[in-house]
């Protein structure tokens, strides 16, 4: 435990250790990525995928160990019972800080499949990272702007079909798809500008999750609804690295996804879009109440 170090020095050490770990694991990840690309056999590609996911999990675990060595953060995590790495999950969470993602990774790593995000198709060309995302089977999707669809109606449904094909591999390898329904970090200014009806949340954006369920309806049946709270104040990623976040509360609810939502076309099916938005609204009302209860249970330190 190196908690005695000054906070900025702990942040520098954390960055250095994470960077060293990244540089150590990237060469084997890149090698396996190339093998996966050039070997056409499905069995070989599945083996490469499992090895790549193993590398990513080790990287996340090592980062958690580095931070535990440097910090004295109190983790309060509820609701992890009954999770499995053999199941498929859709995960959503309120967005408080850039620290949310590493915090959720710490809480769930090794208990569910590796967290993955839907990425824009153009991001596959990002140097180094594009190959890593592709190798780890992060799903790339192609979305057509509404203006283009109005000019070329024959393209309607093509973006969903393209994404469905990109998700074919998830029939064989369990996956966790992650999405921030708010779409951006919570600030009081954003809350006021939106005139959000929720006390602790911004308005949810249902389209991204609706699109995911349309593309992966055969696999996704369980939602992990995560509520994250920093009782002593919301702080940024640098504060997280420096160990200034002393308590992190992560509350997990395991909910079934209604079967009627799976495999639908969120863009073109108005009835489904309305029904899904109503479901998300109820989900957000419950989350808002849950966060209020968590604040009462874990008040800010004096």
pTM (predicted TM-score): 0.86
- Helices within 97-236 (DSSP H only): 100-108, 129-135, 146-151, 158-166, 188-194, 207-215
Half-sphere exposure of 173 (CA within 13 A, CB side): 25
Please give the mean pLDDT across all residues of the chain: 86
Q: Is residue 24 within a helix (H) or strand (E), and if so which, with residue range? A: helix 7-38
Q: What is the average per-residue pLDDT within 85-99?
A: 92
* pLDDT on residue 139: 75
Mean pLDDT over 258-266 rounds to: 84
Beta pairing class for 74-78 and 222-229: unpaired
Instruction: Please report the domains of the chain, with CATH numbers, ordered by start residue.
Output: 79-297 (3.40.1130)
Q: Does residue 157 surpass a pLDDT of 70? A: no
- CA end-to-end distance (rounded Å), the chain: 25
Tell me the average pLDDT across 133-154.
Answer: 71
Closest of 137, 172, 171, 143 to residue 157, by C-alpha: 143
pLDDT in tens, 166-200: 666 777 778 898 888 998 899 999 999 999 999 99
Q: Tokens 């949310």 sit at which residue?
A: 100
Q: Which 3 state secondary structure label does DSSP give 252? A: strand
Determine the pLDDT at residue 282. Answer: 95
Reported confidence tier of residue 118, pLDDT bands at 50, 70, 90: confident
Q: Which residues, in sequence order, are CB contacts of 18 under 8 Å at separation 6+?
A: 63, 66
Is the pLDDT score of 2 beyond 70? no
H or E element at residue 229 = strand 222-229
**Helix or strand or coil: residue 177?**
strand
Q: What is the DSSP letter of 250?
A: E
66 half-sphere exposure, CB direction, 13 A CA radius: 23
Query: Pick the residue with more confidence: 137 or 180?
Result: 180
What would the two tokens of residue 282 be? 């109820």
pLDDT value for 226: 97
Task: Return the pLDDT at 71.
Answer: 87
pLDDT value for 294:
96
* 144: pLDDT strictly greater than 80: no
Query: Each residue of 35-63: pLDDT tens digit?
Result: 888 887 888 888 888 899 999 999 999 99
Distance of alpha carbon 130 from alpha carbon 140, whole angstroms: 10
The per-residue b/e assignment along 261-297, b for 16 or more CB within 10 angstroms, e otherwise, is bebbbbbeeeebbeebbebbeebbeebbebbeebeee
Tell whether the model's pLDDT for residue 78 goes beyond 90: yes
CA distance 196 to 205: 12
């Amino acid at each position: 435990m190196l908690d005695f170090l000054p906070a900025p020095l702990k942040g520098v050490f954390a960055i250095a250790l994470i960077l060293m770990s990244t540089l150590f694991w990237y060469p084997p990840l890149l090698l396996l990525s190339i093998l996966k690309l050039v070997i056409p056999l499905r069995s070989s590609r599945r083996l490469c995928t499992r090895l790549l996911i193993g590398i990513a999990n080790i990287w996340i675990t090592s980062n958690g160990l580095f931070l535990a060595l440097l910090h004295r953060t109190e983790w309060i995590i509820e609701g992890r019972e009954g999770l499995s790495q053999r199941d498929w999950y859709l995960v959503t969470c309120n967005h408080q800080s850039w620290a949310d993602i590493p915090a959720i990774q710490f809480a769930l790593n090794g208990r569910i499949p590796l967290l993955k995000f839907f990425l824009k198709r153009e991001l596959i060309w990002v140097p180094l990272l594009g190959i890593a995302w592709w190798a780890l089977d992060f799903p790339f999707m192609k979305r057509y702007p509404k203006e283009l669809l109005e000019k070329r109606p024959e393209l309607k449904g093509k973006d969903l079909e393209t994404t469905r094909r990109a998700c074919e591999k998830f029939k064989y390898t369990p996956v966790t798809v992650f999405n921030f329904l708010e779409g951006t970090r919570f600030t009081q200014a954003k809350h006021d500008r939106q005139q959000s009806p929720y006390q602790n949340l911004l308005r949810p954006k249902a389209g991204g999750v609706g699109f995911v369920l349309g593309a992966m309806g055969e696999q996704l049946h369980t939602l992990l609804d995560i509520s994250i709270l920093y009782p002593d104040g919301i702080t940024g990623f640098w504060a997280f690295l420096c160990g200034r976040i002393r308590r992190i509360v992560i509350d997990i609810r395991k909910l079934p996804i209604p079967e009627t939502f799976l495999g639908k076309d969120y863009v073109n099916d108005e009835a489904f879009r309305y029904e899904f938005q109503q479901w998300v609204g109820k989900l957000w009302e419950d989350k808002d109440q849950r966060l209020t209860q968590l604040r009462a249970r874990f008040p800010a330190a004096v």
